[in-house]
A = this chain, B = another copy of it.
Amino acid sequence: MSEYKGILDHIDRYVELSDSEIEEFISILKTTRVKKRQFIVQPGFVSEYRNYIVEGAVRVFYLDDQGKEHTVIIAIEDYFFTDFYSYIHRTPAEYYAEALEDSIILQMKYEDVEKLCSRIHALSQYFRLFTERSMAYSYKRTISNISKTTEERYWEYVNKYPEIANRVPQYVLASYLGISPESISRIRSRS
């Protein structure tokens, strides 16, 4: 059904699955609806799922000892999110995943993904190739974080992801870029 179209297209960009493989894959997907402000992952609980967003927006953030939030991931349609460390190592999550809007997500359990990846070579390839691309992107974010000014980081993000920047609250963007909300406000007013 149309609810799986997005994720199947996503897979299709990397590998080809047979019809029966697609069926097997779909069988491990659980569709979940979450309301705005609802938590999908919480510190203390293992992040059981890899989550794919069919519709809506989610952020993953870390709450430090001073009560400050630091956003690691901002995800909209066609993005994946999870507390990756918790998901892989089966340890309690350190991050929150919070719906920024009412959302529909597809959830796949760690064991199910691993089982399927062991059985279906193409699926393993898919996650490998996709994760390698995420990794390359992650290096770029790191470079940006350590080498650019707040203003440069802000405009870089806004130019690269205008739809996301317009869609999420500014304080979320601020905590993603490691900038104070006030500074973002000033950067915007300056232009």
Interface residues of A (CB under 8 A from B): 62, 64, 68, 70, 72-73, 84-85, 87-89, 117-118, 121, 124-125, 127-128, 131-143, 145-147, 175-178
Given A117-B128, A124-B121, A127-B128, A88-B136 contact (CB < 8 Å): yes
Q: How far in angstroms is the closest Cβ of chain B from A61?
A: 9
How many monomers of this protein are in the complex?
2
Q: List 4 tightest A-B contacts by C-beta distance, closest first.
A: A146-B178, A128-B128, A85-B136, A84-B136
On whether the beta carbons of A143 and B85 are closer than 8 Å, the reply is no
Give complex CA distance A72, B147 in Å.
10
On whether the beta carbons of A143 and B62 are closer than 8 Å, the reply is yes
A68 contact set on B, CB distance < 8 A: 147
On whether the beta carbons of A139 and B88 are closer than 8 Å, the reply is no
On whether the beta carbons of B143 and A72 are closer than 8 Å, the reply is yes
Q: How far in angstroms is the closest Cβ of chain B from A138?
A: 4
Give complex CA distance A125, B127 in Å.
9
On whether the beta carbons of A132 and B131 are closer than 8 Å, the reply is yes
